[in-house]
Amino acid sequence: MRKPISILISGVGGQGILTLAEIVGRALIKSGYVAKATEVHGLAQRGGVVVSHIKAANYEVSPMVAPGMADLIIGLELIETVRLARYINKETVVLANKKVIPPVLPGVDVPDPGELISRLKRVSHRVYLVEASAIARRIYGEQITNMVMLGALSGLGALPISRELYIEAMYERLPEKYIEVNLKAFEAGEKAVKNLY
């Protein structure tokens, strides 16, 4: 393969983006790829932008994704998903959580979800939306939104990773006592995305 699989995961600090990225990276390695994951974020404070770059190929990949080269965007927050527009091409799969977290700025105009979604549809034909935060809240709390998204990713089949290997990677990465609730989140994500077909 020449072009590496290129994935971006974005959201706001505290949404569990790095954990999600690590699980996807582990699952890629289990699937036989040389995978690399790196994150871009500001200072160690809450509420900042977090973007994780993941790449995989059969050779030593570089850590960052180039403009127009994303195969997959996983957005845990809509503003931060749209902010990645420069990485998206028409064929990029955009899997986004239907959730807006307003930036904490006085007097800021927060775009509404519908408007943000139509912006995404301008750049990609393949936009999939999941109410991941709402689903997570129903099961346990918003802390597990990231695993709802992982389940949605598995259900969508957007990456050459089997369901079993996603779950194996979850077991490897998550504390044992939280596995059960995270598996529930995963399954709910899978189901949510099935309804989109």
Enumerate binding residues for another protein (CB under 8 A). Answer: 2-4, 12, 21-22, 25-26, 29, 34-49, 57, 59-69, 79-80, 82-89, 102-106, 108-111, 119, 122-123, 172-173, 175
**Nearest distance from residue 184's CB to another protein, in Å?**
21
| 103 CB-side CA count, 13 A | 13
Of 122 and 194, which has the nearer Cβ to another protein?
Answer: 122
State which residue, 55 or 184, has the beta carbon closest to another protein.
55
Residue 54 or 153: the one with the smaller Cβ distance to another protein is 54
Instruction: Pick the closer one to another protein by CB: 74 or 82.
Output: 82
Please tell me the distance from the alpha carbon of residue 144 to that of residue 133, in angstroms, as a whole number. Answer: 8
Alpha helices, DSSP H only, in the chain? 17-30, 78-82, 113-123, 132-139, 145-156, 163-173, 179-194
Which secondary-structure segment (H or E) carries 36?
Answer: strand 34-41
**Inter-axis angle of helices 145-156 and 163-173, nearest 10:** 160
Least distance in angstroms from the C-beta of 19 to another protein: 11
The token pair at 172 is 């490897």
CB of 61 to another protein, least distance (A): 6
Q: Write down the least CB distance from residue 79 to another protein, Å.
A: 6
